[in-house]
Amino acid sequence: MRNQLNHIAVIMDGNGRWAKLNNKTRLEGHSKGVSSVRKIIQKSIELKIDYLSLYAFSNDNWNRPKIEINGLMGLFSQTIEKEFNAFMDNDIKVSFIGDLSRFPKALRKLIDKTVQDTYNNCTLNLNIALGYSGRMEILESTKQVVNKVISGNLGVDNIDESVFSDNLYYSDLPDPDLLIRTGGENRISDFMLWQIAYCEIFFIKKHWPDFNEQDFLDIIDEFDKRERRYGRLGEQVK
């Protein structure tokens, strides 16, 4: 590839609209979306992508009807348990970013165990955003930096982008090179606002349950054709 592709982020949108179009319940739409997750994880491994970040549940999603939230909590638990052997067999390291404090205790314990048990895996770093808000992440990082200044452990003149990044939820996570959003909406929805400054963004009309390996490959092919300048002139990067 001409362009380095180390980290792909995905806003998995459109499960509910897919369900409506197919006369299914919203939870059936979310369940169908899990199959697309499996496909994209496997294709990422085949392509030797190092990091894959999936936006599974935003902090604002707590505003949805309680019946849907309860169904999603059960689906998260069921999926993590069901996919655990696949995580181990495929050498996938699983991590989570976001505020997990409002999630059921049993699910939090399952998340902690999955993170611990897959910690030494290294073929693919799978990063799942749950209860996540990009604005909240930036605010939390700001608070951490301010506290270090107040305690005398950090000088104001020493604050730079790297210091700020080190205080994000997952400080070792490199910035995404490519962001994909399915479902036909052309917005970021508070996802990784700090990290996507120079990210190539693709908005796809297909709903997430219909998104497949070929769609993934087509986007990567288009990504590779883009000229990534990072503020330089086109002549400077050729």
Could you tell me the CATH number of the domain that includes residue 123?
Answer: 3.40.1180.10
**Is residue 214 assigned to a domain?**
yes
**Is residue 12 assigned to a domain?**
yes
Output the pLDDT for position 230: 56
102 and 18 together in one domain: yes
Task: Give 99-122 as a DSSP string.
Answer: --TTS-HHHHHHHHHHHHHTTT--
d(CA 192, CA 125): 16
Where among 124, 154, 173 does a domain terminate? 173
Distance separating the N- and C-terminal Cα atoms of the chain: 14
β-sheet bridge partners, residue 181: 11, 203
Where among 173, 198, 222 does a domain terminate? 173
60 is written with which tokens? 């604002």
40 and 150 together in one domain: no
d(CA 220, CA 10): 13
218 and 100 together in one domain: yes
d(CA 226, CA 42): 25
164 and 227 together in one domain: no
| Model confidence, pTM | 0.94
Q: Is 120 a catalytic residue?
A: no
Q: Which candidate in 13, 177, 210, 215 is catalytic? A: 13
Range of the domain at 166: 134-173
**Is residue 1 assigned to a domain?**
no
Q: Which candidate in 3, 6, 50, 61 is catalytic? A: 61
25 and 46 together in one domain: yes
Output the pLDDT for position 10: 98
**In a structure prediction context, what are the per-residue pLDDT tens digits for the chain, which is 238 residues long?**
678 999 999 999 999 999 999 999 999 999 999 999 999 999 999 999 999 999 999 999 999 999 999 999 999 999 999 999 999 999 999 999 999 999 999 999 999 999 999 999 999 999 999 999 999 999 999 999 999 999 999 999 999 999 999 999 988 899 999 999 999 999 999 999 999 999 999 999 999 999 999 999 999 999 999 886 656 555 555 6
163 and 180 together in one domain: no
Tally the domains of the chain: 2
**Is residue 41 assigned to a domain?**
yes
226 and 198 together in one domain: yes
**Is residue 144 assigned to a domain?**
yes
Phi, psi of 125 (to 5 degrees): -95, 105
109 and 202 together in one domain: yes
54 and 166 together in one domain: no
**Is residue 120 assigned to a domain?**
yes
148 and 212 together in one domain: no
Q: Is 215 a catalytic residue?
A: no
98 and 30 together in one domain: yes
85 and 108 together in one domain: yes
**Is residue 2 assigned to a domain?**
no
**Is residue 49 assigned to a domain?**
yes
Element (H, E) at 195: none
- Give the pairing type, strands 178-181 and 51-58: unpaired
24 is written with which tokens? 């299914």
d(CA 73, CA 26): 14
